[in-house]
């Protein structure tokens, strides 16, 4: 039962499966404009040596951003978004983001200092037992800083990635994929204490008047959690509870309740529980009603949580 925002992050991310593929490892010198956009996939950039600038154009409610990256930093772009890496702090014009400049050259394994920036870039896929609902809880990109105290445990991972990237061989080391998977999880957990990651869940968990309610729902999801009973649990009137909960969470209590229940259900199904027993545990008397609710929240039928693809190379995160 989660008792803190970080524990809630671990609980929410349990069942997340990652699969990274390396696109290229090498060095850019002089003028360049690099990007992994346009492939309809989530992607990452790891700065192995040197510095560069990450540019993101304005998009919907997000203002244009230009961020300096240094050795040890990593950025994970959670879906295919327009971006580029350059040596210049000045962002390109909107019509220049898709124009690539420069060529990547192989890394020199001699250990000598070089100009420019050394990068490991690639793509990744992630699957959650929350299905499509997970995308609404994640920011569009995650920046992992080398000096972030929350990422202290990940520095060894980064050093291993850098060592593997420097090996002289025809093809990049396959270990980079696995190490990047682990680094991605560290980055996700590191931002769990910020408002950008699952803002509804974390803002509710930070509110002393709601934290016991969230823990109680996760522990006993099958109880009759109506708006009235949730308000009574928090020692509030129904009107006050609905107003304050919506302000903290950004969604009504019933919608939030459904998300928590389906996460509990997905975890049970993943560990082999039957659909019927899972439905009853989270408060549904009808298996078909549960299946409809599960698909409405996650976008997936319950059976997908119990089926593992044969020979899958995905790395489960626990």
Q: Which residue has the higher pLDDT, 185 or 205?
A: 185
Residue 315: what pLDDT?
39
Q: In the predicted model, what is the mean pLDDT of residues 124-133?
A: 80
Percent of the chain past pLDDT 70, that is, above it, reads 85
Continuous segment of H or E residues that includes residue 23? strand 16-28
Model confidence pLDDT, tens digit, residues 150-192: 888 788 888 898 888 877 666 667 788 888 888 888 887 777 6
pLDDT of res. 317: 34
Share of the chain above pLDDT 90, in %: 41
Number of Cβ within a 10 Å radius of residue 103: 12
Phi-psi region of 208 (alpha: psi -120 to 50; beta: other; left: phi over 0): alpha
Residues of the chain with CATH 1.10.10.60: 207-305
- Model confidence at 202, in pLDDT bands (50, 70, 90)? low
The domain covering 207-305 belongs, at the CATH homologous superfamily level, to Homeodomain-like (1.10.10.60)
Q: Are 247 and 279 in contact (CB under 8 A)?
A: no
CATH, domain range 16-193: 2.60.120
Residue-level pLDDT at 194:
60
Angle of helix 287-298 versus helix 253-270 axis, rounded to 10: 110
Nearest to 27 by CA among 102, 123, 77: 102
Q: How much is the average pLDDT of 287-294? A: 95
Distances (CA, A) of 260 to 64, 128, 200, 263, 303: 34, 14, 12, 5, 18
Collapse the DSSP code of 280 into the 3-class scheme (helix H, G, I; strand E, B; otherwise coil) and give the result: helix
pLDDT confidence bin for 253, thresholds 50/70/90: very high
pLDDT digits (tens, 9 = 90+) for 58-97: 987 788 999 999 999 999 998 899 999 999 999 999 889 9
Q: Which residues of 63-92 are buried (b: 16+ CB within 10 A; e: fewer)?
A: eeeeeebeebbbbbbbeebbbbbbbeeebb
Give the separation between CA 8 and CA 1, rounded to whole angstroms: 8
Contact status, residue 69 vs residue 53, Cβ threshold 8 Å: yes
Q: Which residues of 289-311 are buried (b: 16+ CB within 10 A; e: fewer)?
A: ebbebbbebbebebebbbeeeee
Taking the C-alpha atoms of residue 32 and residue 88, their distance in angstroms, rounded to an integer, is 9
Domain with CATH 2.60.120 in the chain: 16-193
- The pLDDT mean for the chain works out to 84
Higher per-residue confidence, 318 vs 8: 8
Predicted TM-score (pTM) of this structure: 0.76
Reduce the secondary structure of 119-158 to three states and give it as a string.
EEEEEEEEECCCHHHHHHHCCCEEEECCCCHHHHHHHHHH
Which 3 state secondary structure label does DSSP give 221? coil
Q: What's phi and psi for 105, nearest 5 deg? A: -110, 155
The more confidently predicted of residues 256 and 168 is: 256
Nearest C-alpha neighbor of 202 from the set 62, 17, 14, 7: 7
């Amino acid at each position: 039962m989660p008792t803190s925002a970080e524990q809630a992050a671990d609980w929410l991310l349990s069942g997340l499966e990652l699969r990274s593929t390396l696109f290229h490892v090498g060095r850019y010198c002089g003028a360049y404009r690099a990007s992994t956009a346009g492939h309809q996939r989530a992607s990452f950039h790891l700065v192995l040596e040197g510095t560069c600038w990450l540019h993101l154009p304005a998009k919907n409610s997000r203002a244009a951003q230009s961020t300096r990256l240094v050795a040890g930093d990593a950025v994970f772009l959670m879906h295919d978004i327009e971006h580029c890496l350059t040596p210049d702090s000045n962002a390109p014009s909107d019509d220049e983001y898709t124009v690539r400049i420069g060529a990547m050259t192989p890394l020199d394994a001699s250990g000598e200092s070089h100009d420019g920036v050394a990068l490991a870039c690639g793509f990744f896929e992630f699957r959650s037992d929350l299905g499509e609902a997970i995308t609404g809880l994640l920011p569009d990109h995650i920046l992992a800083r080398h000096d972030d105290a929350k990422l202290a445990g990940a520095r060894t991972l980064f050093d291993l990635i850098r060592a593997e990237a420097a090996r002289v061989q025809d093809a990049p080391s396959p270990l980079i994929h696995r190490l990047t998977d682990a680094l991605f999880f560290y980055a996700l957990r590191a931002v769990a204490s910020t408002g950008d990651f699952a803002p509804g869940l974390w803002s509710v968990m930070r509110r002393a008047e709601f934290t016991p309610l969230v823990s109680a729902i996760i522990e006993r999801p099958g109880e009759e959690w109506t708006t009235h009973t949730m308000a009574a649990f928090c020692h509030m009137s129904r009107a006050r509870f609905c107003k304050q909960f919506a302000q903290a969470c950004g969604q009504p209590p019933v919608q939030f309740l459904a998300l928590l229940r389906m996460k509990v259900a997905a975890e049970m199904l993943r560990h082999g529980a039957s659909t019927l027993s899972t439905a009853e545990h989270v408060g549904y008397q009808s298996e078909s009603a549960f299946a409809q609710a599960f698909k409405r929240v996650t976008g997936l039928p319950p059976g997908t949580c119990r089926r593992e693809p044969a020979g899958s190379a995905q790395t489960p995160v626990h």
